[in-house]
């Protein structure tokens, strides 16, 4: 069985002797080879240049026996393609060129042709697909709510926009959703085996508004992927009912949710992914092995399970701890 087969079987809920494993932010700052690459190129240069993006995508697979690669990019390339550039602050965090706060600032965005301006991601996917015939390849996109949160300057301003300028809010989410739909369709056509939708700010959406302001935009985005399975990672969500009927093939779960309990509450045709606390990988190899074993034992025998973290790898993570984690998962055999 190839790594790609294992990943796809898990998404389809088929029985496996061990779950597939990949890690959010597996290509990134914890790797010395990634830091060396960043010494030569800016993040955006790497994301915009297919050959560099593929180099970063492949780096962790050259170190670890991971089952899947996720294309190197950023969710904020969507607003960038719509005319809202972003930059990384030296002290950390994201800085958007302007804030969408009213009809005038909304008018500075362009929906038409935005997905075409993201063709460099499709090119990177095609190159990665050719380089990884036996591994699963994952494309990704930000969820409309999360992207709009960045574009509006935070979940608070976005919620105010919903309450006080509903037409502007609806047009913003509708435009972002349209571009994301085209973008997801493009990635599926470029060879992605699955698409992960990052709704990283889902937990910041007021609970009473979640169904109408965040969850409603997921179903059309998932439908845009066609037959390509979609994983929805909605960080901070506690009520999974709306996500269970979104059309997602798999739900990515953060470290604050009991994964085994959620697995039992979901329909059998929905897989789960997660949810080791990334902090456990910042200690030592023994802690990494122990934490991975505990999660594997909890999920032992569960169909439709993909081993991952509850959020992305932290920059201070020692690479040898990741090696211990991956070895623990790949050496596992269900009883």
Active site residues: 25, 29, 38, 74, 150
Residue 209: HSE in the Cβ half-sphere, 13 Å Cα cutoff: 17
Cis peptide before 275 (omega within 30 of 0): yes
Rounded to an integer, what distance in angstroms lies between the CA atom of residue 287 and that of residue 22?
19
Rounded to an integer, what distance in angstroms lies between the CA atom of residue 137 and that of residue 191?
8
Whole-number Cα distances in Å, 220 to 74, 176, 245: 21, 12, 12
- Asked if residue 27 lies in contact with residue 52, where contact means CB atoms within 8 angstroms, the answer is no
- Asked if residue 80 lies in contact with residue 86, where contact means CB atoms within 8 angstroms, the answer is yes
Classify each residue of 7-38 as buried b or exposed e, where b means 16 or more C-beta atoms within 10 Å of its C-beta. Answer: bbbbbebeebebbbbbbbbbbbebbeebeebb
């Amino acid at each position: 069985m190839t790594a790609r087969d294992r990943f796809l079987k898990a998404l389809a809920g088929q029985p496996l002797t061990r779950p597939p494993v990949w890690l959010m932010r597996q290509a990134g700052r914890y790797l010395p080879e990634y830091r060396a690459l960043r010494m030569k190129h800016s993040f955006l240069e790497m994301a915009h240049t297919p050959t560099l993006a593929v180099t970063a995508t492949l780096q962790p697979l050259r170190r670890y026996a991971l089952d899947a690669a996720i294309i190197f990019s950023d969710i904020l390339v969507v607003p960038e393609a719509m005319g809202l550039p972003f930059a990384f602050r030296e002290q950390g965090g994201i800085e958007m060129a302007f804030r969408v706060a009213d009809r005038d600032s909304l008018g500075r965005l362009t929906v038409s042709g935005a997905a075409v301006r993201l063709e460099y991601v499709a090119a990177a996917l095609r190159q990665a697909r050719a380089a990884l015939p036996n591994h699963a390849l994952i494309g990704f996109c930000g969820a409309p709510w999360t992207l709009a949160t960045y574009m509006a300057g935070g979940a608070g301003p976005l919620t105010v926009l919903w309450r006080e300028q509903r037409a502007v809010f609806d047009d913003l989410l509708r435009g972002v959703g349209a571009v994301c739909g085209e973008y997801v369709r493009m990635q599926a056509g470029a060879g992605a085996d699955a698409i992960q939708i990052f709704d990283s700010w889902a937990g910041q959406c007021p609970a009473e508004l979640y169904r109408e302001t965040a969850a409603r935009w997921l179903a059309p985005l998932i439908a845009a992927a066609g037959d390509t399975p979609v994983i929805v990672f909605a960080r901070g969500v506690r009520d999974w009912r709306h996500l269970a009927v979104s059309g997602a093939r798999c739900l990515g779960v953060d470290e604050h949710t009991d994964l085994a309990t959620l697995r039992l509450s979901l329909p059998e045709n929905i897989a789960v992914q997660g949810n080791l606390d990334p902090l456990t990988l910042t200690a030592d190899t023994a802690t990494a092995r122990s934490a991975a074993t505990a999660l594997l034992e909890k999920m032992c025998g569960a169909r439709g399970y993909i081993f991952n973290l509850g959020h992305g790898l932290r920059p201070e993570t020692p690479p040898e701890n990741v090696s211990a984690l991956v070895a623990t998962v790949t050496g596992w055999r269900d009883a």
